[in-house]
Structures are given as structure tokens and as C-alpha cells.
Amino acid sequence: MTMTITKRFEEHVASVRMLLNFDRDVLDLAIRSLRELSEKLKKHHKLDNPHLSVDGTLRVIENIHQNESLHSRYKIIVNQGLVLLVSYFASSVHDLFRQGVQGALEKDDGSPLFKENVKVSLRELKDVGFEVKDLVPDLLIQTRDISFQDMQSISRAFKDHLGIEITKDVSVNNVILGQACRHVIVHAGGFANDRFVYQVSNAKPRTVKPTITPGEIIEFTQPEIDIIAESMAKYLSNVEASVADRISSVA
């Protein structure tokens, strides 16, 4: 069975979560190893001298794990987790758009796609084995300068070329927030400038960072990353279903 685009995105999300939890995984490994060593020292070597025991070190690491003392030091990694999420989301939306365009090209239903003008070189045709339907989606993306890291551009592309319109809701607003934060993290050191604040002012209501003030440094928590990931998966699932309906409905 072919994996859906949404399912593939969810697997990428799982890999991001593993990255964000790496400190916990390391601590879990250290705690298990120390517990096993402590048991061996006591059971097989009869070593009960507290000065030679690993129990003190074990308690220190267990406290670090329980209080998540190290996690706050990895804020930059959590922010980079968001950057990865936005990239995976953009790639998934790109694949859905290509899928929708290719499906629509196989049917002649008066779609706006057939009114588009694109330029193609013989080299480009040769490179794809003269399979035009494989080349057209990318030519359309290039001609229309479609950005899959900008929700406005995404929405316009699906509406104008495939007749698919997804209602703007809390999940969509969370994704818009995530995309905008990705931009300032990568290009502005996470600094919330006036342009950024204005950009996300209409992305309401949302559940992630509902208020952001100019000058604020954008720092994400793992629960916020989880919410954005769930919002992205919901959006992709809705679009994927709409693309499937669009392709199957054309005669």
C-alpha cells in the first residue's frame, strides 16, 4: 500500500520529536547503566561502601532527568526543530500540489490550468523523457513563483489552479505562525521585529504564542512544537482529501 503524503509527514514529525528528546534519551541510558552497575557491585562484589558506590551519581542524574534541568539549555535545538517542521511541511504541500496538477492534467474539464502559459525548453522535455505531465507542475510553480513556506501563497495556488479552498481556522493560523517564526529564526536571529508582528497579527485565533510583542525573542517549547506539528498534519490531511476528491470528480 502506497504511503500517503500526510503519513510520510507524520513520520518526519516523529524524527523531529526524537531530536528534541535526545537529552532525555541520553539520561535514560545513563540511568539504566548506573542502576545495573549498582546492582552488580552490591550483589556480586558485596560492595556496600557508600564512598565507592555509584548511587550518589545515580541520584544526581535521576534528579536532572526528573526536573529536566538540561532541557532549558537546548532551546536552540527546539527552535531548529520548528525550522525542520516547516521544511517538511513545505515539501509535503509541494508534493500534494504536484499530485493535484498531474491528476487534473489527465482530465479535460475546463480547469483553469489549461489557460496557463508556461515556457519549456527542449532540454527540459528531454530530461523528463517528454512526459509533459511530470514537468508541468514544476513549470507552473516556477512561472507563478509559488512559495510553499508561505500559507498565503499556498492557499492561492490551490484555489486558483485546482479550485481547492481550505477554510482558515485555528490550525491554519498555527501553521502561519510557525512559518513566520521559522523565517525570523533563520534570518533575524529569532528577533520579533515589527514586520513579523504585523505578519502574524491576522493569524488569529491561534493556540501557539497568541500574543507576541516587538523586540521579543522567539523561543519555542516542545509542547508548542507538538501543537504546530498536529496543526500541519491536520491541514495536510484536509488538502490531501480535497486533492483526491478533485481528481476523482473530474470526468
Pick from 25, 58, 73: which residue ends a domain? 73
- 49 and 146 in a single domain? The answer is no
Residues 208, 212, 218, 219, CA torsion sign: negative
Burial environment of residue 247 by CB neighbours within 10 A (0 to 12, 13 to 18, 19 or more): middle
- 176 and 221 in a single domain? The answer is yes
Contacts of 23 (CB under 8 A, 6+ apart): 70, 71, 74
- Residue 173 is predicted with a pLDDT of 97
d(CA 246, CA 159): 12
Provide the β-strand partners of residue 191.
217
- 13 and 94 in a single domain? The answer is no
- 51 and 167 in a single domain? The answer is no
Reading the chain (251 residues) residue by residue, the pLDDT tens digits are 457 999 999 999 999 988 877 667 676 676 677 677 777 767 766 666 666 567 667 677 677 666 665 656 667 888 999 999 999 999 999 999 999 988 888 776 566 776 777 776 667 766 766 566 677 888 888 888 899 999 999 999 999 888 899 899 999 999 999 999 999 999 999 999 999 999 999 999 999 999 999 999 999 998 999 999 999 999 999 999 999 988 776 54
Pick from 26, 48, 73: which residue ends a domain? 73
- Residue 1 is predicted with a pLDDT of 43
Q: Which domain holds residue 107?
A: 75-249
- Residue 157 is predicted with a pLDDT of 92
d(CA 115, CA 232): 31
Element (H, E) at 98: helix 75-105
- Residue 11 is predicted with a pLDDT of 94
Q: HSE (CB half, 13 Å, CA atoms) of 3? A: 10
pTM: 0.80
- 88 and 111 in a single domain? The answer is yes
d(CA 143, CA 140): 5
Element (H, E) at 35: helix 22-43
CA-wise closest residue to 58 among 72, 71, 40, 77: 40
How many structural domains are present in the chain?
2
- 82 and 41 in a single domain? The answer is no
- Residue 102 is predicted with a pLDDT of 86
- 58 and 90 in a single domain? The answer is no
- 161 and 201 in a single domain? The answer is yes
Contacts of 250 (CB under 8 A, 6+ apart): 103, 104, 107, 109, 111
Pick from 41, 73, 105: which residue ends a domain? 73
- 49 and 143 in a single domain? The answer is no
- 219 and 198 in a single domain? The answer is yes
- 123 and 224 in a single domain? The answer is yes
- Residue 125 is predicted with a pLDDT of 65
- 139 and 155 in a single domain? The answer is yes
